Structure 1
């Protein structure tokens, strides 16, 4: 054994001795079932499982102490509980960062007082939490993963589960776990010494940002970085219990492309894990071994995909798989870039390749672009050929990273949501989400296709001819009534009825899982009797594709057919929908089958479990609900604003008009104004302005008069 054997318990021998003492000390005199340490661990597990706030946990500890007999050892605050639990290794490292995202103050910069890159003064803890230059501080909390990986093997059940993938019987031609994928097998074949040890860990990383203060401060963000372990069986590896928070990046702005600076400590630990951590105890086999680990890919939404990978995710080269050969076209009137040209993925003799009028007015003879390998990408960014790349990603510091076939996974959750929003918004003509309009019709005219759909200008209004994607007013109502009347099993989805607005025939407030439910099952049912048949057929095919690709078990023999079908589906959408419909999210659909073929089932690589975990984090690090009303001082990132008298009166008037007791006085005041100014009785706007400017003062006088009258008669409402 070496020095790492006792790394879980900290470097302080007194802390280790105290922990041994807490492990032997009963929770109260005479108790044989729980010790102080085991009781605290159980309670803290409840806190983590149910997302309990620190204030709630402190109150629970106080209640437990009151319920137990005198002389009990239960701590009375969260602070005391943390002091005990920190001996288990549940600690973290707090690091300062340059506000301009230049460096972390660690290693050679740990004692620096200024940033060596930009020269800004380092933030010091204490009363002054703002730099002299007025830039808010940035702080990073790092939770080292190595001690926690060691503790996973110290649990008999968890250690057994971590070798589940090697003991199970896989079915040929079926993928139900990343262990069945070519990406997993590539690590086994290229590094046999790594693959021959089933206890070596395969990891995935996810990161996304959220605002911990909700709407109270829009100038603040938290970026958690989370690791998951794929060695575990499918029913465990994506559960919150085994999601490992490694970094929490906190500051007034998002890290953006400079997120590599904050990932440095994690990358250092991943390098150590690839080289091997000796002396890790396996409780299941009762032996010590050398633990190694490899990061297989990252899981992010598309903007974060660009930040972590270093690739461009906007403009003409927005597709990270197609790169320079991204099929893009600038719309002259819509002033946006559309991504059409999916016919190049069709077989060379497919009839769609020769059709012109239905597509972009030209035949298609091109071939689909070949995705770049990691070695090719690394060569490009190191040689300065960065047309499609913004930087060299820090993940290339990992020895094996350039050999992985998929380094950053496309998130099916966000792709499905954006595609669903585009379809629903276009069919129901929802403002802000509708891909149709005058500009879209003029772009069709400029491309020389579907000229019969160009706008018809009249004296009073411009008329848009009925397109294949348009629904009549009656058909929109029929679709909305279909959604309004749908009933699904308990827990299947949110109540679809609450998302339907029958007054204006819209769907409002769709969340990611609502869009998932619509695309998987409900949308084909709602449009089955409306819309022109070709457009309806194309949408239904797309829904069936998402249903098939999200299956928990993938039949490898059917993937080629599935890929051919989705290309035909996208070509059908190009025939019957305007070019403005094809944003980058619609284009990315063509690459989803490739990633399933290389990485395995989708549900191991989408953001749903991480979004749920970040909701728990938001409730933990955000503003407690008891403080949201009546905040006495500004939160971090907030500024104090002086409200002028007019704005204060406007807010006061708004509150009065929404108070039931004041409604009779509003009617009396309007009658008073009409009586006092008979010449303006029919001028509604003038009367309303006069009412708004005089009502508050009139109400004060009116209420005071009533109170004086009641006092004179010896009556008081109070």
Structure 2
């Protein structure tokens, strides 16, 4: 129907091929207007640049009919659906190859079905979504890359790289632990080869600067990068990135012991209505293991750090579709976003015990509760202004008047000076050094992010996820006020500890 309106915002596909007529043109114009007003949805079928033969071949496969006269599906659609079923049902490569041969025999001559799984992967590989499987030590000591590429046992813990059968025979090629790394540089290149995305990547340079904080481009960290590295700040196409990491259970309630860690990359050059969309949040690392990596996550972050260092120096011959030119692409990592335990893993900071406050550090004032058997920090009134009435309300708190000044957070250079001498050995078999008479440490390691030459100058390197903080605080407050069993913090042990610290009310 030439006058049919496609309701693409309600789940229908975008404009159908061959659709023409006055109504179709008016619909397209209306969609462009709505996209500008609402900063709306990006068209999934974006035109790719003409400088890449690979993308041209991908577009051709997207237009090819599955067989002569077929109007229901294309070659690319059929392959995507096939790989979805492969992932859903855990089908092996051999099974898919046999299925392709059978499917090809059922279709008319001249069909576009690949003859085996290898040819199918070559076609989908043009999307630029390849990945690297990197073997790792099961105890998180090393990755088998670089100098350890040919090793068969871990040089630190002497654990076998490959799985061992029950009869003691090593299974060649079957690694005990594998890291999936999705290279980020080809994906950034692809973003600039898409006309709409390439235009959006420079949105921050033309935004309305009204003095209000509406985008990370208005943050002090962004402005520091622009002023301290002038050549980097002059080019609006240079990328500003953030990393977010957390663990999850891929098997839901079926197994509570298995932990899988993902590292997500966010591009802040995009406008705020796009940078948080799922299609622009890049999965860069997938760490799969029964136990969380903990502080040993630096071992797995190394491939990503290597690419970030390369992006800081510059990647040449990146094609910009909008300006029809090649340029040198650079990128900077602004910060990481995590909950508090993941923050400790990435930064190397101690997040529990006597020096668990990343601001107070050595000046943390912990108290061990005798009955609740927990560590608490009661000197937070130091952060109030000098004339705040809470500072003098002794009976309401711990029966003391607060006169101390709030400690100043350490800069990146000061943190680096403290952690410079810490050992860089990783692995679950490493025993912690005996403390003896030394003061309690504030950091467990020197973070791998300090390999980035600009990292020590970033004012806020790690950001806490507000979602977890709000949820935990809200649960504790509401549970205590409503006296919800299992949620309230007002118990017999808590009352006894309040007496011990001098709180009489």
Which category of TM-score, normalised to the shorter sequence, fits these structures? 0.7 to 0.9
Match of 1:158 among 189, 192, 197: 197
Name the structure 2 match of 1:353. 391
Matched, 1:36 2:71: no
- The Cα of 1:359 is off from its aligned counterpart by 1.3
Match of 1:411 among 456, 465, 473: 465
Name the structure 1 match of 2:490. 436
Name the structure 2 match of 1:103. 142
- The Cα of 1:424 is off from its aligned counterpart by 2.2
Alpha-carbon distance between aligned partners in 2 of 1:69 and 1:314, rounded to the nearest angstrom:
66
Correspondence list, 1:37-186, <5 A: 37=76, 39=77, 43=80, 53=88, 71-74=110-113, 81-123=120-162, 137-172=176-211, 174-186=212-224
Give CA-to-partner distance per residue, 1:68-116, whole Å, 9 cap, x none.
9764425699876434211343211111111111100001111011211
Asked if the contact 1:129/1:137 (under 8 Å) is kept, the reply is no
Matched, 1:278 2:332: no
Name the structure 2 match of 1:612. none
Higher strand share: 2
Higher helix share: 1
Name the structure 1 match of 2:415. 377
The 1:354/1:221 distance shift into structure 2, 3 A limit, reads closer
Structure 1, gaps ≥5 residues long: 10-14, 452-718
Asked if the contact 1:40/1:81 (under 8 Å) is kept, the reply is no
Name the structure 1 match of 2:40. none
Structure 2, gaps ≥5 residues long: 1-48, 423-438
Name the structure 1 match of 2:478. 424
- The Cα of 1:46 is off from its aligned counterpart by 12
Give CA-to-partner distance per residue, 1:180-238, whole Å, 9 cap, x none.
11111110001011111100001111111122223433443211111010000111101
The 1:176/1:52 distance shift into structure 2, 3 A limit, reads farther
Asked if the contact 1:130/1:136 (under 8 Å) is kept, the reply is no
Match of 2:376 among 312, 316, 338: 338
Correspondence list, 1:509-524, <5 A: none
> Please, what TM-score do these two structures have when normalized by structure 1?
0.55
CA RMSD of the aligned region, Å? 3.8
The 1:129/1:208 distance shift into structure 2, 3 A limit, reads farther
Matched, 1:316 2:370: no
Correspondence list, 1:595-610, <5 A: none
Asked if the contact 2:50/2:56 (under 8 Å) is kept, the reply is no
Alpha-carbon distance between aligned partners in 1 of 2:70 and 2:121, rounded to the nearest angstrom:
23
Name the structure 1 match of 2:283. 245
Asked if the contact 2:274/2:280 (under 8 Å) is kept, the reply is yes
- The Cα of 1:148 is off from its aligned counterpart by 0.5
What secondary structure sits across from 1:274 in the alignment?
helix
Asked if the contact 1:138/1:252 (under 8 Å) is kept, the reply is no
Deviates more, 1:199-208 or 1:116-125: 116-125
Alpha-carbon distance between aligned partners in 2 of 1:77 and 1:107, rounded to the nearest angstrom:
32
Alpha-carbon distance between aligned partners in 2 of 1:434 and 1:116, rounded to the nearest angstrom:
50
Asked if the contact 1:159/1:284 (under 8 Å) is kept, the reply is yes
Alpha-carbon distance between aligned partners in 2 of 1:73 and 1:29, rounded to the nearest angstrom:
9
Correspondence list, 1:201-240, <5 A: 201-240=239-278
- The Cα of 1:20 is off from its aligned counterpart by 8.7
Name the structure 1 match of 2:430. none
- The Cα of 1:125 is off from its aligned counterpart by 9.4
What secondary structure sits across from 2:493 in the alignment?
helix
Asked if the contact 1:7/1:147 (under 8 Å) is kept, the reply is no
The 1:317/1:128 distance shift into structure 2, 3 A limit, reads farther
Match of 2:238 among 200, 203, 221: 200
Alpha-carbon distance between aligned partners in 1 of 2:185 and 2:168, rounded to the nearest angstrom:
32
Alpha-carbon distance between aligned partners in 2 of 1:288 and 1:17, rounded to the nearest angstrom:
18
The 1:355/1:215 distance shift into structure 2, 3 A limit, reads closer
The 1:101/1:76 distance shift into structure 2, 3 A limit, reads same
Correspondence list, 1:580-595, <5 A: none
- The Cα of 1:293 is off from its aligned counterpart by 0.5
- The Cα of 1:8 is off from its aligned counterpart by 8.4
Alpha-carbon distance between aligned partners in 2 of 1:386 and 1:79, rounded to the nearest angstrom:
56
Asked if the contact 1:8/1:89 (under 8 Å) is kept, the reply is no
What secondary structure sits across from 2:248 in the alignment?
coil
Give CA-to-partner distance per residue, 1:116-142, whole Å, 9 cap, x none.
11222221599999979xx99211011
Aligned residue pairs, count? 433
Alpha-carbon distance between aligned partners in 1 of 2:255 and 2:396, rounded to the nearest angstrom:
49
Name the structure 2 match of 1:448. 502
